[in-house]
Chain A
Amino acid sequence: MSCWDDEAGGFGAYPQHDAHVLSTLSAIQILVIHDALDRLDVQRVVSFLLSLQNPQTGAWAGDRFGETDTRFLYCSVSALSLIGQLDKVDRELTVNHIISCRNFDGGFGTGPGAESHAGQVFVCTAALAILDRLDEVDYETLGWWLAERQLPNGGLNGRPEKLEDVCYSFWVLSAMSILGKLHWIDDVALMKFILSSQDTEAGGISDRPGDMASIWALSAGLSAGGTVVLHPLSPAGLSLLGYPGLQDLDPVYCMPPAVIEKRGLRKGWVALPRRKEL
């Protein structure tokens, strides 16, 4: 709560930092997991989030300075959904904006005209799932585009002809899980790739084998113990792939499924069955 920016009515990334939708979603996710929503000034947060949507284009800004990006649309829709205020969203305006960001390859970009990128595919697909508008996704084409992110080394990239990176384990896999197409990639090859990015001496996981471990890639690769990780969009690719011994993950909200189900927010996603061993 020390990150609450009382002037704006949202949360910043750190105490005294300005409110932003990215950190507002994180804060709300944490409050929901700890069953502490009573600490939240719901009216003000709703007001803050809704004020950032452009009433003509439906594009969503991150803060008062106006940068718009489909990531922010997802953060706002997800946050409002988690606090039970989704009905305040102008669904048609929001969905139409997502559609305007859709490309011929089935994927989505940061805004109209932008190329498809796995991160944006995740946020747009998840937002459509929350809004019960997955009918706007071309499952076959997007499923194909996502499956083609897998490289010969088993890792996933975020766009055609780019390098693999462990963080895409989340963006791509979550989207595929929402579309029910996880079986369209080689799960064993991917798990082996993620594990080979593990720094077995110093601990942690890096973005690819041989590179320095980073906290970002670590949360990308694993689903930590029983609690959801610190970063709001922290990946849990291994969990979705059914890696033994891990907790389940709801890919739409990037939260523990039990928490989501309790709030009646479960959408139709499919993870691979949890293996007893790799």
Chain B
Amino acid sequence: MSHGVRRTRQSPQDIEARRQKEASKIQEYLDLYNDVMSKKTAKEWSQEAFDLTTQLLRANPEIYTIWNYRRDILTNGVFTSKTPNEINHILASELQLTLSALRQHPKVYWIWNHRRWCLENTPNGPGTDESGEPGTPNDPLGWKRSNWAKELAVCEKMLDADARNFHAWSYRRYVVASSPDPRPLPSELAYSLKKIESNFSNFSAWHQRSKILPALWEGGERSEQEVKDQELELVKQAFYTDPNDQSAWLYHRWLIGPGSNASLLEQEIAVIQELLDIEPDSKWCIEAIVHYKRLLLRHKVQDADKLKSECAEGLRALARVDSQRRRRYEELGS
């Protein structure tokens, strides 16, 4: 897939020259591919076969079958003659190899999967006794702790390179959930906050917050409203900074929820109205206000008729400033 590659005009001579250069590379690749596939069909689990898969995957990390074969070679061949310590070393170098692959191909599912497999196959060790102290050579989960800690660092690097990489976010969630050392909630919250503060337009980080925050009030330490009030302050900064960015508006929608709290609705409508006064054509301000007023109408309110006509007016304004979606606004208004 060549997404995002600019189109250039090419002369027939350019095209032919490139074709010839590529022809020999293609043949080399095909010879390697055929060699590996015939070993796979023969169920060969040798070190030689393993090394060939390394070459092939370096050339093309998207052949899922070869990743499968590589793992089968490790399981059925290489590992069978190794001690846990040696296995751990091999897995560490697998992780290193896939890290380089990931830097070039950050969104290839098969590479992320291979990392998961490596983590999951990390043997217990170096200690052999269950009661071995963490952080000492007697710790039976020492290797696992070390590998897991590195994986978290890998996620951070990948998310620094592309903060919206959903593979990295999913992988991070997996690493945190399966870690031998449960990762405290405040540090996960701090991480998502860090990402948001470096770029308000990171919906992936806002989304992550929506998934981990409930644990705060479910744990009983703080009330839901207290937590959400703090978040409302944060998200208000975001939409004031850039009222056109969808991320903050969506998160705000989550904070309000189904709108069971009428006074909260009124409060937030007022907050957004202040912004709308400065930015009268802001589609998101109008859209949010209309939505929250409609939620408010589900409560027993004194000025229901006024609210209804304000909503109708808001929908007409939306059809004007956001004409692509005018049929939705017309439908809501009918």
Q: Which residues of A contact B (CB under 8 A)?
A: 12-14, 16-18, 20, 63, 65, 67, 69, 103-105, 109-111, 113-117, 143-144, 147-148, 150, 152, 154, 159-162, 165, 181, 183-186, 189, 199, 201, 206-208, 210-214, 216
The answer to whether B272 has its CB under 8 Å from any CB of chain A is no
Interface residues of B in 162-177 (CB under 8 A from A): 164, 166, 169-170, 173
Q: How far is the CB of B28 from chain A (nearest CB, A)?
A: 19
Chain B residues with Cβ below 8 Å from A116 are: 207
Is A160 a contact of B246 with CB atoms below 8 Å?
yes
Is B6 a contact of A214 with CB atoms below 8 Å?
no
The answer to whether B109 has its CB under 8 Å from any CB of chain A is yes
State the 9 A-B residue pairs at the shortest beta-carbon distance, nearest first: A186-B324, A184-B328, A115-B207, A17-B65, A160-B246, A212-B5, A160-B203, A104-B254, A183-B327
Is A206 a contact of B250 with CB atoms below 8 Å?
no
Q: How far is the CB of B159 from chain A (nearest CB, A)?
A: 13
Is B328 a contact of A216 with CB atoms below 8 Å?
no
Interchain residue pairs with CB less than 8 A apart (15): A12-B65, A17-B65, A18-B65, A143-B328, A147-B325, A160-B203, A160-B250, A161-B203, A162-B164, A184-B325, A185-B324, A185-B325, A206-B7, A207-B4, A214-B2
Is B250 a contact of A105 with CB atoms below 8 Å?
yes
Residue of B nearest to A215 (CB): B1
CA distance A162 to B331 in the complex (A): 27
Chain B residues with Cβ below 8 Å from A160 are: 203, 246-247, 250
Whether A161 touches B247, Cβ cut-off 8 Å, given contacts A113-B211, A114-B169, A211-B3, is yes
Residue of A nearest to B65 (CB): A17
Residue of B nearest to A145 (CB): B250
Q: How far is the CB of A260 from chain B (nearest CB, A)?
A: 27
Is A115 a contact of B2 with CB atoms below 8 Å?
no
Q: Which residues of B contact A (CB under 8 A)?
A: 1-7, 9, 37, 40-41, 63-65, 68, 71, 109, 113, 116-117, 164, 166, 169-170, 173, 201, 203-204, 207-208, 210-211, 245-247, 250, 253-254, 257, 323-325, 327-328, 331
Q: How far is the CB of B57 from chain A (nearest CB, A)?
A: 14
Partner of A110 from the list B7, B164, B166 (CB cut-off 8 Å) is B166
Whether A67 touches B328, Cβ cut-off 8 Å, given contacts A160-B247, A165-B3, is no
Chain A residues with Cβ below 8 Å from B166 are: 109-110, 114-115, 117, 159
Is B245 a contact of A186 with CB atoms below 8 Å?
no
Whether A211 touches B6, Cβ cut-off 8 Å, given contacts A13-B64, A185-B325, is yes
CA distance A103 to B209 in the complex (A): 12
Chain A residues with Cβ below 8 Å from B201 are: 161
Whether A186 touches B169, Cβ cut-off 8 Å, given contacts A105-B253, A165-B3, is no
Known: A186-B324, A214-B1, A214-B2. 5 other contacts (CB 8 A): A115-B203, A189-B324, A199-B7, A207-B4, A213-B7
Whether A161 touches B328, Cβ cut-off 8 Å, given contacts A65-B117, A105-B253, A211-B5, is no
